C-alpha cells in the first residue's frame, strides 16, 4: 500500500481487512502470503563466472593480441617449427592476458557484495498479533496487514503504518535511510504533505530503522522489495558500473591504435608483394607467409602488451600510498578518477559532521546586581568522547567549571534527568551511545564540567581508563542521589522530570524545551554567588532572546534545565509538581562539523573542485553548517545556492541546469534524489565523487564516478563504494585527489614512454621491410623488449614524485585526450628516432663494423638473391646473430635513456634529475643486468638468438642511443614556450584520441 501515510488508520485497517484487537487470522495470513510474497529482499541474478571471464577480453587491443598469438602459433605449425622458441611468443601473450582477466574477475566479484550487505539491515524477529494473541515470529513471515508491536531498541521489521501510540511519544533513528542527524518523532495522524519524501511520512516506520524512545502498534504496509530498503536495492540494481575517464580514453586510444596497426600491417604486406617469389623464400606461398609473419610481428610490436599490466601496477602503487592517507581503495580504476573529479557531493551527517550531538553553548544568569545579566560559555569537543573544555565569553578556559553554581547544577541535572547510556567500545576504540543522542550529549557535558571540591580533578580524570572515564562523573552523581520517581517526556508538556533524594534532601531535576521550562519557572539561580532570585519579566525576556539567538542564527537544538527543592519524603511525582521551578541554564547543542572540514573545503575550491552538501536534514540546520565550514564561498545571499529536493524538482528544465552549476546545498533529500543529482551533474560532463555512510547513500555511491564511504559507515555503503575513508576524515579526500592527479600524470608519462618505444619498434620493422634488408629483430627479441625492458621502467615511472602545484590547477576536463596532437607529434619524433637508431645499428654492423663483413650497402639490400649470384662472401653471413644483437641492444639502451626523459612531461632532466626517482634508476640497472644476462649466458643467448658484443660494438650502441635525450630536451623546451602551446592549440581539433562526448553530439 504505497499511500498508507496519507490514509487514516481506519482506511488502512479496512484495506487489509484486519481487526486491530485481534490481528490477522490464519486463513488471511495464508492468502496475503500468496498475494504479496515473503518479507525478504529477493536475491539478484548473479553474473555467471564464465560471463565475467569473457567480459575481461572484450577489448579491441586484447582481441588483436589474441589474434596475433593464434596466428603466430598456426604459422609456427605450418612451417613445421618445433621447440620452445616457436611457441614462446604466443604463450607469453596469452599468460599476460589471463593474469589481467583474473584481476578483473576478482574486482567485479567483490562489487556484488553491496546487495548482500543490504540484507543485514532487516530485522530477525517481530512481535506480531495474530488470532488475538501476541507471539514472536521470524520477521520473514510477516505479511501486509499484520499488527506489529515495537518498542525501544527494536529494529523495524517492515514498512509499518502507525495505528496506536502506547507511550507518550515514539522516536525513531532513521539516519541510515534519510541522513537526519536527530531521531524523528512519529505520530498516528495521516500526513497532508504533497509529493511527500520519507521525512514527511511521520506516521510510517521504515524497515531497518531503530526505535529509540517509546512503544507503539503499527500495521505492516510494505514487505521485502516493496519497502524503503527494497527501493534502495532496486536503485542499486539499476545502476551499472561507469567506465572511468582513463578507461574511456584508453579504449578510444586502443581503437585508434588498432586502425593504425591494421593499416601499417596491410601496407607492409602489400609493399613486399614483389618479394614473395624471391628464391630465398622457396616459393610464392612461402614468401607470402614470410611477409605475413613480419606483418604479425609488426602488430605485436605496435601493441603495448605490458600496458594493461603497467596501468594496473601503477594504480596499485597509488592505492598503497593512499592507504597511508587513510583512503582505502576498493576499485583500482577509481584511483585515477579522483584526479579529474570536478564535483564532490558530500553527505552531511557523519561526513562533514561527527554524527554525534554535542553541547556547544551554555547560557546562565550571571547576576542581577552587577555586570552583565547573562553569561555565555562555549564547549569544545565534537564527539561522544568525554574530552573537551569549557570557555567563557572571552575564550578563557575554565580550570574548575564545577565550582560555578549554575554549571554544577547543570552537570547534576544532565546526569540525573537522563535515560541514556555512554560507554567505551574497546573493539573499535570509540565511545558509543545507547538512547537519544541529545541525552548522551548532556552526559558528555557532565563529564566535561567535572566534579567540585577536588583541586586535582582534571588530571585525576585523565588517569582513568577509557572504560571508567566514559561515565565517571555521571556515576558519581547517580551514587550521590537516589532516583525516586520519574515523569516521562510527553509531547504536550515537552519536558521530563526526575525526583531524586540525597540525605533527607529531595530535589526535582527538569529538562525540556526552553519555552516549556521558562513558563514553569518563578526563580532563577545566579552564577556569581549561587543565590536564588525571582525570575522577573526582564530576565525572562533576555533568556528568551538568547534562546531565539541560539535556535535561530546558530541553529542549535536548545534545552532548558531547572531544579526545585521538594518536601522531604515525597515518593511520587504529579504534573502539578512541575511548577515554581528555579531556572538553572540554557544549553545549545548541535551535530558539530569536523574540525578539519573547513580547510579541506578551501583546498577543494583552490583546486577547482566544487562541493555540494547533500542531506536529508532541514534547510536552516544545513545552511548553518555550510556557513561554518565555508561551503557557500562567503556569499551572503544563498538564493540560487541552496535548494530543497521539492524546490529543485519544481524548477523548469533550463533553471535546473543553471541551479546545478551554482548549487552548494541540497536538503530534504531521499535516496532517489541523491542518485538523480549525480546523474544530472554527469550529464553536464562533471566527474562526480559522492561521499556517504548510510544505507540511503548506497545507490548514489554506486552511480557516482567515484563513491567514497566513511569507515564508520554501514557495510552497504562501503560495499557500494569505490573508496573507504578509514578515518572518516573529509580532509583525506583532498589528499586522495592530489594523489589521483599525480597518478594520472605518471600514467600519462608511462603511456608516453611505452607508446614512443613501440612506435620505435614499428618504425624499425617498417623501415627494414621498405629498404629490403634482412629482418632487424626476431619476434622473440621484440617480445623480450616489450615485456621486460619496457615493463620495468614503465612501472617505475609510477613512482615519479607529485608536482608541488598539483592541487593549484583546475581538474582536467572529462573530454581531454590522454594524447593530444602535440604530444603525439613528440611520440612520433622520439619513436622515429628510436626506430631509425635501431636500423642504423643493424646496418652499421654489416657495412662499417671492424668485426663485420663490410658489405656494400647495395649487397645488403639484395640479400635475398645471394644464393642465385656469385658473391665474394658466404650467404650465411646474413644469418649471423651480431647485427640483430646490436640492433636489439640499441633498442634497449635508447629506451633506457628515453625512460629518463619521462621523469616529467615538460621539465628538463637538469631540473628534475634521475635521482629524484630512485625506483626508475634501479629499474634501469635491473633491466640492463637482465639484458647482459641474455647476451653473455649461453643458453639464454641461444633462446633469444643473440650473441656477446665487443667493447667497440657497445661504444656504437651508446653513440646511437644517447641523442634521444637531446632530442626530447629540445621538444620539452618548445612545450614550455609559447610555440608548444600554439602547436598544441592548432592540433587540438585533430586529437588522436577523439572526444566521445563531442562525437555523440
Residues taking part in catalysis? 347
Q: Please tell me the chain's helix, strand, coil percentages from 3-state DSSP, rounded to the nearest 5.
A: 50, 15, 30
Neighbours of 37 (CB within 10 A): 15
Is there a contact between 669 and 177 (Cβ–Cβ < 8 Å)? Answer: no
The candidate with the shortest Cα–Cα distance to 77, out of 226, 289, 262, 281, is: 289
Pairing of strands 184-186, 495-502: unpaired
Q: What would the grid cell of residue 641 be? A: 545556492
Q: What would the grid cell of residue 893 be? A: 639502451
Q: What would the grid cell of residue 931 be? A: 639484458
Map residue 473 onto helix, strand or coil.
helix
Q: DSSP for 45-91, please give it.
A: PPPPHHHHHHHTT-SHHHHHHHHHHHHHHHHHHHTT--SHHHHHHHH
- 587: phi > 0 → left, psi -120 to 50 → alpha, else beta; which? beta
Alpha-carbon distance of 953 to 961, in angstroms, equals 12
Give Cα separations from 292 to 92, 267, 286, 296, 304 (angstroms): 21, 11, 10, 6, 20
Alpha-carbon distance of 635 to 630, in angstroms, equals 9
Q: What would the grid cell of residue 264 be? A: 601499417
What's the gap between Cα 255 and its chain centre? 29
- Could you identify the residue written with the cell 569537543? 381
Q: What would the grid cell of residue 419 be? A: 535515560
Q: What would the grid cell of residue 504 be? A: 533527607
The 8 Å CB, 24+ separation contacts for 451-455 are: 451/402, 451/476, 452/400, 452/402, 452/403, 452/408, 453/402, 455/400
Neighbours of 386 (CB within 10 A): 25
What's the gap between Cα 962 and its chain centre? 44
Give Cα separations from 219 to 38, 152, 160 (angstroms): 16, 17, 5
Helix (H) or strand (E) holding 610: strand 610-614
- Could you identify the residue written with the cell 557532565? 446
Query: Is residue 348 packed enough to be buried (19+ CB in 10 Å), middle (13-18) or exposed (0-12)?
Result: buried
- Crossing angle of helices 307-324 and 245-271, in 10° steps, is 160
Q: DSSP for 311-363, please give it.
A: HHHHHHHHHHHHHHTTEEESSTHHHHHHTT--EEEEEIIIIIB-SS-EEEEEE
Alpha-carbon distance of 67 to 616, in angstroms, equals 54
- Could you identify the residue written with the cell 663485420? 852
Q: Which residues pair with 501 in a beta bridge?
A: 482, 506
Is there a contact between 382 and 360 (Cβ–Cβ < 8 Å)? Answer: no
The candidate with the shortest Cα–Cα distance to 75, out of 258, 296, 304, is: 296
Q: What would the grid cell of residue 983 be? A: 602547436
- 538: phi > 0 → left, psi -120 to 50 → alpha, else beta; which? alpha
Q: Which residues pair with 489 in a beta bridge?
A: none
Q: What would the grid cell of residue 129 be? A: 498479533
Q: Which residues pair with 397 in a beta bridge?
A: 391
Is there a contact between 299 and 265 (Cβ–Cβ < 8 Å)? Answer: yes
Map residue 31 onto helix, strand or coil.
helix
Give Cα separations from 551 to 384, 411, 554, 562 (angstroms): 22, 22, 6, 19
Amino acid at each position: 500500500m504505497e499511500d498508507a501515510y496519507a490514509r487514516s488508520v481506519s482506511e488502512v485497517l479496512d484495506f487489509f481487512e484486519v481487526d486491530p484487537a485481534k490481528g490477522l487470522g490464519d486463513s488471511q495470513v495464508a492468502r496475503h502470503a500468496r498475494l504479496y510474497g515473503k518479507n525478504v529482499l529477493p536475491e539478484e541474478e548473479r553474473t555467471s563466472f564464465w560471463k565475467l571471464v569473457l567480459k575481461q577480453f572484450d577489448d579491441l587491443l586484447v582481441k588483436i593480441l589474441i589474434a596475433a598469438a593464434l596466428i603466430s602459433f598456426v604459422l609456427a605449425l605450418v612451417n613445421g617449427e618445433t621447440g620452445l622458441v616457436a611457441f614462446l611468443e604466443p604463450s607469453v601473450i596469452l599468460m599476460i592476458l589471463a593474469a589481467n582477466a583474473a584481476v578483473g574477475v576478482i574486482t567485479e566479484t567483490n562489487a556484488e557484495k553491496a546487495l548482500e550487505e543490504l540484507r543485514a539491515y532487516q530485522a530477525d524477529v517481530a512481535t506480531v498479533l495474530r488470532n488475538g494473541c501476541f507471539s514472536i515470529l521470524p520477521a520473514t513471515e510477516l505479511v501486509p496487514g499484520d499488527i506489529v508491536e515495537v518498542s525501544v531498541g527494536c529494529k523495524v521489521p517492515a514498512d509499518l503504518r502507525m495505528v496506536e501510540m502506547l507511550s507518550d511519544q515514539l522516536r525513531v533513528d532513521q539516519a541510515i535511510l534519510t541522513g537526519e542527524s536527530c531521531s524523528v518523532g512519529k505520530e498516528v495522524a495521516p500526513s497532508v504533505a504533497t509529493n511527500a519524501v520519507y521525512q514527511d511520512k511521520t506516521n510510517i516506520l521504515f524497515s531497518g530503522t531503530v526505535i529509540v524512545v517509546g512503544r507503539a502498534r503499527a500495521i505492516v504496509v510494505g514487505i521485502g522489495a516493496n519497502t524503503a530498503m527494497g527501493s534502495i536495492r532496486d536503485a542499486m540494481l539499476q545502476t551499472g558500473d561507469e567506465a572511468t575517464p582513463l578507461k574511456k580514453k584508453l579504449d578510444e586510444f586502443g581503437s585508434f591504435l588498432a586502425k593504425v596497426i591494421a593499416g601499417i600491417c596491410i601496407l607492409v604486406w602489400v609493399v613486399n608483394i614483389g618479394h614473395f617469389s624471391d628464391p630465398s623464400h622457396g616459393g610464392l606461398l612461402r614468401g607470402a607467409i614470410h611477409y605475413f609473419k613480419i606483418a604479425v610481428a609488426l602488430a605485436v610490436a605496435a601493441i603495448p602488451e605490458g600496458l594493461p599490466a603497467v596501468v594496473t601496477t601503477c594504480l596499485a602503487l597509488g592505492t598503497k600510498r593512499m592507504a597511508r592517507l587513510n583512503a582505502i581503495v576498493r576499485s583500482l580504476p577509481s584511483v585515477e578518477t579522483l584526479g579529474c573529479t570536478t564535483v564532490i557531493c558530500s553527505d552531511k551527517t557523519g561526513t562533514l559532521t561527527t554524527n554525534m550531538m554535542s553541547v556547544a553553548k551554555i547560557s546562565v544568569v550571571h547576576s542581577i546586581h552587577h555586570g552583565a545579566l547573562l553569561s555565555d560559555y562555549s564547549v569544545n569537543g565534537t564527539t561522544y568522547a568525554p574530552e573537551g573544555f569549557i570557555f567563557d565569553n572571552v575564550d578563557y578556559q575554565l580550570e574548575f567549571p564545577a565550582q560555578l553554581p549554575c554549571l554544577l547544577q547543570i552537570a547534576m541535572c544532565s546526569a540525573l534527568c537522563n535515560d541514556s547510556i555512554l560507554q567505551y567500545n574497546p573493539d573499535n576504540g570509540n565511545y558509543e551511545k545507547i538512547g537519544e543522542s541529545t541525552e548522551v550529549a548532556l552526559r558528555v557535558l557532565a563529564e566535561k564540567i567535572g566534579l567540585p571540591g577536588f583541586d586535582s580533578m582534571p588530571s585525576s580524570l585523565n588517569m582513568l581508563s577509557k572504560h571508567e572515564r566514559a561515565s565517571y562523573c555521571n556515576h558519581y552523581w547517580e551514587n550521590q542521589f537516589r532516583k525516586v520517581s520519574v515523569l516521562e517526556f510527553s509531547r504536550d508538556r515537552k519536558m521530563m522530570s526526575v525526583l531524586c533524594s540525597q540525605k533527607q534532601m529531595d530535589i526535582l531535576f527538569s529538562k525540556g524545551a526552553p519555552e516549556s521550562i521558562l513558563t514553569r519557572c518563578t526563580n532563577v539561580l545566579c552564577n556569581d554567588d549561587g543565590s536564588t532570585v525571582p525570575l522577573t519579566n526582564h530576565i525572562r525576556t533576555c533568556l528568551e532572546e538568547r534562546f531565539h539567538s541560539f535556535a535561530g542564527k546558530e541553529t542549535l537544538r536548545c534545552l532548558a534545565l531547572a531544579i526545585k527543592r521538594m518536601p522531604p519524603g515525597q515518593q511520587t511525582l504529579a504534573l502539578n509538581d512541575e511548577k515554581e521551578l528555579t531556572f538553572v541554564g540554557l544549553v545549545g547543542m548541535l551535530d558539530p562539523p569536523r574540525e578539519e572540514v573547513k580547510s579541506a573545503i578551501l583546498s577543494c575550491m583552490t583546486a577547482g573542485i566544487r562541493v555540494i552538501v547533500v542531506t536529508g536534514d532541514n534547510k536552516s540546520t544545513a545552511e548553518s553548517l555550510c556557513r561554518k565550514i565555508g561551503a557557500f564561498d562567503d556569499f551572503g545571499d544563498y538564493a540560487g545556492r541552496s535548494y530543497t529536493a521539492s524546490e529543485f524538482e519544481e524548477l523548469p528544465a533550463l533553471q535546473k541546469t543553471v541551479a546545478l552549476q551554482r548549487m552548494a546545498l541540497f536538503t530534504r533529500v531521499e535516496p532517489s534524489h541523491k542518485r538523480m543529482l549525480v546523474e544530472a551533474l554527469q550529464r553536464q560532463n562533471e566527474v562526480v565523487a559522492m561521499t556517504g555512510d548510510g544505507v540511503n547513500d548506497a545507490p548514489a555511491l554506486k552511480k557516482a564516478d567515484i563513491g567514497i564511504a566513511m569507515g564508520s559507515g554501514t557495510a552497504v555503503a562501503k560495499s557500494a563504494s569505490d573508496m573507504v575513508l578509514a578515518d572518516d576524515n573529509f580532509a583525506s579526500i583532498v589528499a586522495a585527489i592530489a594523489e589521483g592527479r599525480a597518478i594520472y600524470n605518471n600514467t600519462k608519462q608511462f603511456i608516453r614512454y611505452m607508446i614512443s618505444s613501440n612506435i620505435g619498434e614499428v618504425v624499425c620493422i617498417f623501415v627494414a621491410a621498405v629498404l629490403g634488408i634482412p629482418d632487424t629483430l626476431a619476434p622473440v627479441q621484440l617480445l623480450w623488449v616489450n615485456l621486460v625492458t619496457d615493463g620495468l621502467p614503465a612501472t617505475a615511472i609510477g613512482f615519479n614524485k607529485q608536482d608541488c602545484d598539483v592541487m593549484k590547477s583546475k581538474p582536467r576536463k572529462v573530454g581531454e585526450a590522454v594524447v593530444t596532437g602535440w604530444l603525439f607529434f613528440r611520440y612520433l619524433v622520439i619513436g622515429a628516432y628510436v626506430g631509425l637508431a635501431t636500423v642504423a645499428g643493424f646496418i652499421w654492423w654489416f657495412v662499417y663494423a671492424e668485426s663485420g663483413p663490410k658489405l656494400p650497402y647495395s649487397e645488403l639490400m639484395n640479400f635475398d638473391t645471394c644464393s642465385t649470384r656469385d658473391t665474394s662472401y658466404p650467404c650465411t653471413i646474413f644469418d649471423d646473430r651480431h647485427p640483430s644483437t646490436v640492433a636489439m641492444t640499441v633498442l634497449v639502451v635508447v629506451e633506457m635513456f628515453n625512460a629518463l626523459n619521462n621523469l616529467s612531461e615538460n621539465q628538463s632532466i637538469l631540473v628534475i634529475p634521475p635521482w629524484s626517482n630512485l625506483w626508475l634508476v634501479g629499474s634501469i640497472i635491473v633491466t640492463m643486468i637482465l639484458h647482459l644476462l641474455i647476451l653473455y649466458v649461453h643458453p639464454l643467448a641461444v633462446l633469444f638468438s643473440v650473441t656477446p658484443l665487443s667493447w667497440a660494438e657497445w661504444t656504437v650502441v651508446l653513440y646511437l642511443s644517447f641523442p634521444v635525450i637531446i632530442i626530447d630536451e629540445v621538444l620539452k623546451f618548445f612545450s614550455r614556450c609559447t610555440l608548444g602551446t600554439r602547436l598544441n592549440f592548432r592540433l587540438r581539433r585533430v586529437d588522436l584520441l577523439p572526444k566521445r562526448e563531442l562525437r555523440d553530439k
